[in-house]
Chains A and B, each alone.
Chain A
């Protein structure tokens, strides 16, 4: 990498580190982010550098408080969905037969349920919480990962490698880990960043669909304030910028990682 390209790259790392810092340590510096401190949609002042939102809550306090739940809940949910999908897809694709039939039925059942419906039922039945959001992400995300994994596994099984490896006496597990996983890593991981972004935006969409908000988070802040974007643009711009850096970094970082690991 040339020196000319290293500087912006270093800068990018710094920005990402800063945003992560805000997300992780911000809550420690924030006063009560739900407290209504003044009139709605007020302009920035010295005491309140980002003004207030449509309710009269301080935007800066909410920005500080609103990153942590984003780095935790959606990441965990996406990891869970990916792991589960990988497991199901591998079992179905590798062993075939009854295992495959069961996995396929389950996949199709989950895929057949419209995401909006899953979200509505979970939120109306059990309320907005980290658990329901995670459940929604897992229920809607798992079957897709599983389908892709299954297809790629089938593909790999048909390839000579697997047959050869198995013939030489390797166990199922070692065949899966050494021969199949590397083959399916790219399509599955390429999607991980996007799944993460979807999980994050899902938490924001909850507010949009009229289920209230589960406390401050950058995604929800965008949906809360986007209607008043002309009155207080910073109420949308700041969380959007932070959220953007986070998701873009997650996507690009993963791409890099996949590139390094696989090639």
Chain B
């Protein structure tokens, strides 16, 4: 019933990873978004429009009031952000699409990009969306105190200019072919020029924010929305810190949709006809790993890395630690997302693992771990047993999640640690986590690798860049330090009959949700 998971600090750490979560690294641009992006997720055709829908969403006490684009963190704040503001580009239905932008094109070496805006879009206050608004928005979210400022680190913000009413020029500090997926898709909400105080947020999105207090935000449909009239009239987003409480609120009829329930909760309600469990699949998941630092002994020996990979029983880890509410992973982040290199499935081979360990002379290992996400400790305990079968004695060094992340130096210098990432497109993940300056580069990538990464990022041609990132993934699969064993899928629950909710990178979109017919 109750479990104290999802506490603030962990939520916050999730924010860190999410700083680039709504991203997609698809090297091939899909067709530009039409008037209405296609409805995805569950088919909503049979349902009826809803007058009102209440949602319980993850929330941290430290969260700023929802609707401030400078301080989006988890669940509630992200959801409100996506409904109130349109972005230049978004991830929709597993592809990345233009939303307020009509096109985004690079110059020859991808050092300057030109954004053309969709015409005829207006803000909630009736004023049109113009290039000057975009310039202001990019500068505001790209500068501290915005908590997403680091996303814009590669952008020459003072040089961003409005060429005419619907054209913006964005010069970069270094050539980046992945500007669209690494910046605009990650975070590019647009709000009116001059807006610096978000007490009364104004965007051009499908919902207007009318009222909020510490936990609840009330949104009403923007009936004149350029993408079509939303199907839910009034949307209430309620921030609830505890996963069990979110589910309890649904079952008590206080909300219609619960975001982020526990695996035990999902298992318990599986047979309840009044409740529908929605699993996000690998595309909306955390990628759970045992990270080996390639720079440090004994993992500087490739045989040891291979041995650990072979000794791990991924299916058992998913079945036990995630209660089967997830899927196995194959050491590389990005599965089921654009740009994934479709790497072969790993299989367990204890005999070979044992031989490799013996060859390398490894009999003892220590794993630094903690309950970073629910199930991580259980996975670590099971790993002890699995390595034991391969002849290696594994000791666990257990820490609280706070203590685990607190010491940046230890994180970068400990050879073997439990870790997790948000599953996002491989290119975005590799760019954000495995570069030289990333403090949480727990796998200790080499300088060679980092040079190849920089080269891939700078490649202007979509197909060539896709190929380069594919090669990097293959390298990670063969040589890398992540034993990425499972995807902990987003688990939501709704009142039976609620349909048409789309989930994009663990952010739920309700503007086309419907109720029972």
Q: Which residues of A contact B (CB under 8 A)?
A: 34-36, 39-41, 54-56, 123-124, 127, 207-212, 223, 226-231
Taking the closest CB of chain B, its distance from the CB of A205, in whole angstroms, is 9
Q: Are A36 and B381 in contact (CB under 8 A)?
A: yes
Hey, what's the 0/1 contact readout for B351-368 against A, CB within 8 Å counting as 1? 000000000000000000
Chain B nearest CB from A17 CB (Å) reads 33
Q: State whether A208 touches B400 (Cβ < 8 A).
A: no
Known A210-B5, A227-B244, A229-B1; 15 more pairs at CB < 8 Å: A36-B385, A39-B319, A40-B320, A41-B264, A41-B323, A55-B320, A124-B400, A212-B370, A212-B371, A212-B400, A227-B262, A228-B264, A228-B268, A230-B268, A231-B268
Q: Is the CB of A124 within 8 A of B320?
A: no
CA distance A123 to B4 in the complex (A): 15
Are the CB atoms of A231 and B381 closer together than 8 Å?
no
Chain A residues contacting B265 (CB-CB under 8 Å) are 227
Choose among A36, A41, A228, A229 the residue that contacts B378 (Cβ–Cβ < 8 A).
A36
Query: Hey, which chain A residues are within 8 Å of B321, CB to CB?
Result: 55
A151 to B268, CA, bound (A): 51
Q: A208 near B3 (CB under 8 angstroms)?
A: yes
Interface flag for B462 (CB, 8 Å):
no
- Are A227 and B264 in contact (CB-based, < 8 A)? yes
What's the nearest-Cβ distance from chain A to residue B197, in Å? 34
Q: Within 8 Å CB of A40, what residues of B?
A: 319-320, 323
Interface string of B1-16 (1 = CB under 8 A from A): 1111101001000000
Q: Which residues of A contact B5 (CB under 8 A)?
A: 210
Closest chain A CB from B11 CB (angstroms): 11
Complex Cα spacing A207 to B262, Å: 16
Contact of A209 (CB < 8 Å), options: B4, B319, B323, B399: B4
Whether B402 contacts A226 by the Cβ 8 Å rule is: no
Q: List 17 A-B contacts (CB under 8 A).
A: A36-B320, A36-B381, A36-B382, A40-B320, A40-B323, A54-B264, A56-B320, A127-B403, A207-B4, A208-B2, A208-B3, A208-B4, A210-B371, A210-B401, A226-B1, A229-B1, A231-B264
Can you list, as one digit per residue, whether each of B247-291 has a CB less than 8 Å from chain A (1) or not (0)? 000000000000000101101100000000000000000000000
Given the complex of chains A and B, what is the CA–CA distance between A251 and B62 in angstroms?
41
Chain B interfacial residues counted at CB < 8 A: 30
A54 x B323 contact (CB < 8 A): yes
Closest Cβ of chain A: how far from B240's Cβ, in Å?
16
Q: Which of B4, B385, B403 touches A124 (beta carbons < 8 Å)?
A: B403
Tell which of B3, B262, B321 has the most Cβ of chain A within 10 Å: B3
Shortest distance between the CB of B7 and any CB in chain A (Å): 5
- Chain B proximity of A180: nearest CB distance (Å): 43
- Which DSSP category, helix, strand, loop or mixed, fits chain B's interface? helix
Q: Shortest Cβ distance from B191 into chain A, in angstroms?
A: 36
Inter-subunit contact A34/B381 (CB<8 Å) = yes
**Given the complex of chains A and B, what is the CA–CA distance between A227 and B269 in angstroms?**
12
Collect the chain A residues with CB atoms within 8 Å of residue B320's CB: 36, 39-40, 55-56
Q: Using Cβ atoms and an 8 Å threshold, which residues of chain B touch A56? A: 320, 378, 382
Q: At the interface, yes or no: B377 with Cβ under 8 Å from chain A?
A: yes
B398 at the interface (CB under 8 A from A): yes
Please indicate the chain B residues that have their CB under 8 angstroms from the CB of A228 in the complex: 264, 267-268
Interface residues of B (CB under 8 A from A): 1-5, 7, 10, 244, 262, 264-265, 267-268, 319-321, 323, 370-371, 377-378, 381-382, 385, 398-403
User: Chain A at the B interface: mostly helix, strand, loop or mixed?
Assistant: loop
Interchain CA distance A212-B401 in the complex, whole Å:
9
Docked Cα-Cα span, A211 to B401, in Å, equals: 8
Residues of A within 8 A of B7 (CB): 209-210
Which residue of chain A has its CB nearest to the CB of B320?
A: A56
Distance from B485 Cβ to chain A, minimum over Cβ atoms (Å): 15
- B291 CB, nearest partner CB in chain A, Å: 19
Q: Which of A39, A54, A210, A231 contacts B4 (CB 8 A)?
A: A210
Interface contact A211-B400, CB-CB below 8 Å: yes
Alpha-carbon distance between A226 and B401 when the two chains are bound, in angstroms: 22
- Cα A135 to Cα B320 with chains together (Å): 34
Partner of A227, one of B2, B10, B381, B399: B2
Residues of B within 8 A of A211 (CB): 400
In the complex, which residues of chain A have a beta carbon less than 8 angstroms from the beta carbon of B264? 41, 54, 227-228, 231
Whether B371 contacts A231 by the Cβ 8 Å rule is: no
> In the assembled complex, how far is the CB of residue A213 from the closest CB belonging to chain B, in whole angstroms?
9
- A35 to B384, alpha carbons, bound, how many Å? 9
A226 contact set on B, CB distance < 8 A: 1-3
Whether the pair A41, B267 counts as a contact (CB closer than 8 A) is yes
Whether the pair B381, A55 counts as a contact (CB closer than 8 A) is yes
CA distance A54 to B1 in the complex (A): 12
A34 to B5, CA, bound (A): 21
Which of A35, A124, A230 interacts with B402 by CB under 8 Å?
A124
Contact partners of A212 in chain B: CB under 8 A: 370-371, 377, 398, 400
A219 to chain B, nearest CB (A): 14
Measured in the bound complex, the distance between the Cα atoms of B400 and A212 in whole Å is 7
| Contact partners of B402 in chain A: CB under 8 A | 124
Closest 3 CB pairs of A and B: A210-B4, A55-B378, A228-B264
A residues in contact with B244, CB < 8 Å: 227
Among B2, B3, B267, B378, point to the contact of A231 (Cβ < 8 A): B267
A129 to chain B, nearest CB (A): 11
Chain B residues near A124: list those with CB within 8 A: 400, 402-403
Q: How far is the CA of A229 from the CA of B268 in the complex (A)?
A: 9
Taking the nearest CB of chain B, how far is it from the CB of A207, in angstroms? 8
CA of A110 to CA of B319 in the docked complex: distance in angstroms? 46
Q: When chains A and B are docked, how far (Å) is the Cα of A123 from the Cα of B7?
A: 15
List chain A residues, Cβ under 8 A from B262.
227
Which residues of chain B are within 8 angstroms of A207 by Cβ–Cβ distance? 4
Chain A hits for B1, CB < 8 A: 226-227, 229
In Å, the complex CA distance between A34 and B382 comes to: 10
Q: What's the nearest-Cβ distance from chain A to residue B266, in Å?
A: 11
With a cutoff of 8 Å between Cβ atoms, the chain B residues found around residue A35 in the complex are 385
Specify the chain B residue showing the minimal Cβ separation from A211: B400
Distance between Cα atoms of A124 and B407 in the complex (Å): 13
Q: List chain B residues, Cβ under 8 A from A223.
A: 3
Q: Which residue of A lies closest to B386 (CB)?
A: A36
Complex Cα distance, B385 from A124, in Å, reads 27
For B322, the closest partner residue in chain A by CB is: A40
Nearest-CB residue, chain A, relative to B370: A212
A39 to B319, CA, bound (A): 7
A55 to B383, CA, bound (A): 13
